[in-house]
Amino acid sequence: MKRDPEEIRREMGTLERSSHEEERMNEYLKAFVQCNKNRANAMEEVAVDIVMRAQQQAPRAYPFVSFSGGKDSTVVSDVVRRALGTNEILHIFGDTTLELPTTYSYIDRFKAQNRKIPFIRSRSKHDFHELCKRIGPPSRVMRWCCTVFKTGPIGRKLDGLKKSHYLTFQGVRHSESVRRSSYQAISRSPKVASQTVVAPIIYWRDADVWAYIIDKSLDFNDAYRYGYTRVGCWCCPSNSMWSSFLTRVFFPELAEPWRSFLVDFARSMGKPDPEVYVDTGKWKARQGGIGVLTASDSLISSRACGDDPNAKIFKLSRPISENLYEYFKPFGQIDRSSGSTRTNEVLVIDSSSKQPLLSLQGAIGSSELRIAVIRSSDPTLLFHRVDCQLRKFQSCILCGGCLSACPNGAIEHRRGSYFIDETRCVHCLQCVNKFDTGCLVSKVLQIKRGSES
């Protein structure tokens, strides 16, 4: 890994594998499959049982395979179709736009080889590099990219299918990480409210996956032939140094511009050794919004309003617009007619008592908003939730995180704006409570002093 990638590429270009080596490898693979036949059969039975159990528990749920183009989703696709006895199981490829070239090639081959499988692709409208400039590159503790480029777009595709509930078959396994070791084979999705997640191969190890692929003669992503142990976004902060190195060797057209961006970003953070900071992987531990010009958008400042302990005046970084009131719909019905026109008052009506809950006063275009709690058993908690929604209003980039949090599909993006359908919103506040600050982007932009950043 200390060698120059260009030098390695030149040397690899002089090498050829002999037919004898190919034959020897094939013999090894046959022996590997044969020696593990009993275990492979047992693991396949367990996987099929999980699929059948999930279908029995949710017989009306709409099934689909979350297909990433990696070895695990390749196996899950085959297991699910064998278990259910049909190829007509929807496959959704969450195209993050950051997949390895080998992944796109494999997806094309898979579709050509399985023409009866309904296959759709979800893709975010955002540009990854532009977002990195705006809110900073993702890190291991702030992987905003998963929500923006995978969970959010897939959630919007599911909304378009207009099914009430989904069985999502995924290639998650316990042995992949400590975090995934606690996952259940069948569980409700923590990210998308309308999904039940099913992991048929959750108890399998890498050897089980490869034994199945080789035994069933399944095609697979060529990235594994290059030496990658996992297939996903080539710039993921969770990638190992080895994966990053392989990308520099095999796909320099991707790796080098990304490294240049990270080095420039490290300079903007004030790092004295930006190249070392990037090449040693320390950028992956970045926290907060240091070095990001828009970090101030995540900040909320307020002051007391006269002698009313239940009223505050908020100073906003984004001017008040009609769209502001969309962010208050989770609290109740927006009433523009009953308040004082002199103070531009808009009331939020509690859905249960039908009484005013909040008073919002601020002129369109102004940066000051007076908010008063009119009726609440816990004004402090309500103001905390108001803070969350104001941060969301200031930081919103239409990332899709709130859409996936809503169990009723009430949140939409209309003509480039955040919108809540009041006929579908039940005021459960799940979209408000989803992230610590009410907003994924706001959470990413928080500046945390005294930590690695």
Q: In whole angstroms, what separates CA 321 from the centre of its chain?
A: 29
pLDDT above 50 (res 453)? no
pLDDT, tens only, 326-348: 999 999 999 999 999 899 999 99
- By DSSP bridging, strand 195-198 and strand 166-169 are parallel
Last residue of a domain, one of 198, 226, 254: 226
Q: Is 219 found in the same domain as 338?
A: no
User: Do 56 and 176 share a domain, yes or no?
Assistant: yes
Q: Give the domain CATH number at 40.
A: 3.40.50.620
**Per-residue pLDDT at 178:** 75
300, 427: one domain: yes
Q: Please check whether residue 289 lies inside any domain of the structure.
A: no
Q: Is the pLDDT of residue 198 over 80?
A: yes
Q: Which of 199, 226, 253 is the last residue of a domain?
A: 226
Domain boundary among 176, 194, 226: 226
Q: For residues 48 and 180, state if they share a domain.
A: yes
Q: Are residues 204 and 302 in the same domain?
A: no
Do 333 and 346 contact (CB within 8 A), yes or no? no
Residue 285 placed within a domain: no
Could you tell me if 216 and 99 lie in one domain? yes
* pLDDT 10s digits, 163-185: 888 999 999 999 887 777 888 99
**Is 170 in the same domain as 301?**
no
**300 in the same domain as 425:** yes
In this structure, the answer to whether residues 196 and 299 fall within a common structural domain is no
How many structural domains does the chain have?
Answer: 2
Note down the domain range covering 117: 5-226
pLDDT at 449 > cutoff 60 = no
Average pLDDT of the chain?
90
Look at residue 147 and tell me whether its pLDDT is greater than 90: no
Does 287 have pLDDT greater than 50?
A: yes
How large is the average pLDDT for residues 58-74? Answer: 95
pLDDT for res 16? 83
Interval 201-244: pLDDT, tens: 999 999 999 999 999 999 999 999 999 999 999 999 999 999 99
Mean pLDDT of 289-306: 70
**71 plus 215 within the same structural domain:** yes
On whether both 192 and 44 belong to a single domain, the answer is yes
For the entire predicted model, the pTM comes to 0.84
